[in-house]
Structure 1
């Protein structure tokens, strides 16, 4: 198991909240994030690497937000092989 963390920000929250947890993989970490409530903004981190910045807008429905420092897919998911290139 590896250590991950989420930064959570809800409209009603005065300050962001950090949640530390353990997961077997990046996929498993995303599954943990799925349990958050609708309308919450979540940043999912693997140590210093931002995996995703997203808002939950419904059951199993997430809006992904752009990252200021995108991470190449082959750094997050080594089996992908080729890096993802930002367009625009």
Structure 2
């Protein structure tokens, strides 16, 4: 099941690779990326898909919120009826 993450963060040096790296290390495939904003805050939108069924967006959400510089994470997944 694919999902969308919207991550608000401080755009410091290395912030984007740190965020994207965590997403990939946690077993999600990056399907799309866009970024808006500038200093002092920015927003990164990621379209992701789990590499296997054991990967959960809610856990990834919590892990991302722990990163230094991340102020907020929202995630959205399609309703089950939209997948069928």
What TM bracket, shorter-length normalisation?
0.3 to 0.5
The structure whose residues are more often helix, as a share, is: 2
Larger radius of gyration: 1
Q: TM-score, normalised by structure 2?
A: 0.42
The structure with higher relative contact order (CA 8 Å, sep 6+) is 2
Q: TM-score, normalised by structure 1?
A: 0.40
